[in-house]
Amino acid sequence: MVSEHEAQSAAQVLVASNRGPVSYTLATDGSLDARRGGGGLVSGLSAVKDKLWVCAALGDGDREAVRRGVAEQGVRMLDIDAAVHADAYNGIANSVLWFVHHMLYQTPLEPVFDAEFRRQWASFETYNRAFAEALAQEAGEGAAVLVQDYHLALVPGMLRELRPDLRIGHFSHTPWAPVDYFRLLPDDIAEQLLRGILGADRAAFLTWRWADAFIGCCTEILGGTGRTRIGVHGLGADADFLRRRAHEKDVDERMAALREQVGGTGRKTIVRVDRTELSKNIVRGLFAYRELLNTRPEWRERVVHLAFAYPSRQDLAVYREYTAEVQRVAEEINSTYGTADWTPVLLHVHDDFARSLGAYRLADVALVNPIRDGMNLVAKEVPVVSDHGCALVLSREAGAYEELGGDAVVVNPYDVSATAAALHEALTMADDERAARTERLAAAAVALPPQQWFLDQLDALRREA
């Protein structure tokens, strides 16, 4: 570890995101333990070694690290007031912007944009301004700055005012709402968000569907996208890492345990791996499985649904309620259909990456049925590590549909009966067809691995200068 003041100065490549590549835990003896993060963004950004990553302090350990002047080389963590961060992150980013872009509102009752919303929006502006000022301070002349996601939608515009010399990119990891839904937002807020992103030289998305929706909003509300170029980069799976990690000892151990839990000779498996995020549509997936067992009793005792639903955003009541509903429906299916030696749904709620990889390898069918998803890497990861081929049941509302739809069994995520029929089709798919589809799915899934995904954005930003 080095002091914050020793962090890289006058950086030529900068990245900004709410969550950074490292987090700190404050131990009982007062020491700080650093933990490196994972995921597609961390993997992708590792492609550039000489960069500065600007992120927020997310917990007490992070804030204490900043106050002590402790930092990882190449990382600047911002100690934004905890109450301001909570308003910006939970109050606006996750409870408003996420809901708009994933079209999650129950519109007879929500949203309500009142004085409390305006108070939280002021915090969102403060939070974005803190990032813009830090980037302006750290960036070298003409540096490339890549701002990540909806949390920091105002940063490009703010940074442009502070440092017009910079090359600024913004990447949206979520869907973008169609214009009629985007206009649920107050008019001035909708315009502010669009102008914020249009402060970038280049705004990029995971699919052309989301890019076109953004262009549509800009055209309707602002009259166009101005000088900002629009790009698309479909984040792929990290094949080398996944295939290596999926065959390590702990994964083999988890696979053996899962096989024992599945039980029975020749039982098939339907696998899903998700956070209990409202957009993931886990409850309807369970409803579809229940309908499969009800309408096609021949599958009883012949199939097991491995449902990994890892709790997400449990500090928000609506997420806690959704997690509880997932557990309730799973228990109801087991109570209705289960027998002495067959548990229809094996629900796991504790995050375990090795177990997830073991399930990927075991899966006969992968169920990926989100209401809306920017991409959904699970849909790409399963075919890459599958041991014997896996049929993919995929929502047409996932960003991955654009690349994988031709070899998946595609569903309307709201249509439970059609999803049940799709599960039956996937379970009965001939072995040779399933293997051929899996091979094509895997090839498409790794077309733009995380490091190349990031380098492509950086190259495009510099090339279009």
Q: Cβ of 249: how many Cβ atoms within 10 Å?
A: 8
Query: In sequence order, which ranges of 316-427 are alpha helices (DSSP H)?
Result: 317-337, 353-362, 378-385, 401-404, 416-427
Could you give the maximum distance between any two Cα atoms of the chain, in Å? 69
Q: Are 394 and 419 in contact (CB under 8 A)?
A: no
Query: In sequence order, which ranges of 139-280 are alpha helices (DSSP H)?
Result: 155-162, 179-182, 187-197, 208-222, 239-245, 249-262
User: What averages of pLDDT result for each successive group of 10 residues across the chain (465 residues)?
Assistant: 44 93 84 74 71 91 86 89 95 96 96 98 98 97 96 98 98 98 98 98 98 98 98 94 95 95 92 93 98 98 95 79 94 97 94 93 97 96 95 98 97 98 98 96 94 94 83
Structure tokens at 71: 């930092």
Predicted TM-score (pTM) of the model is: 0.93
Cα–Cα distance, 314 to 177 (Å, whole number): 25
Exposure b/e, 21-53, CB count within 10 A at least 16 = b: bbbbebeeeeeeeeeeeeebbbbbbebbeebbb
Counting Cα atoms < 13 Å in the Cβ hemisphere of 136 gives: 16
Cα–Cα distance, 237 to 119 (Å, whole number): 40
Indicate the helix (H) or strand (E) that contains 299. Answer: none
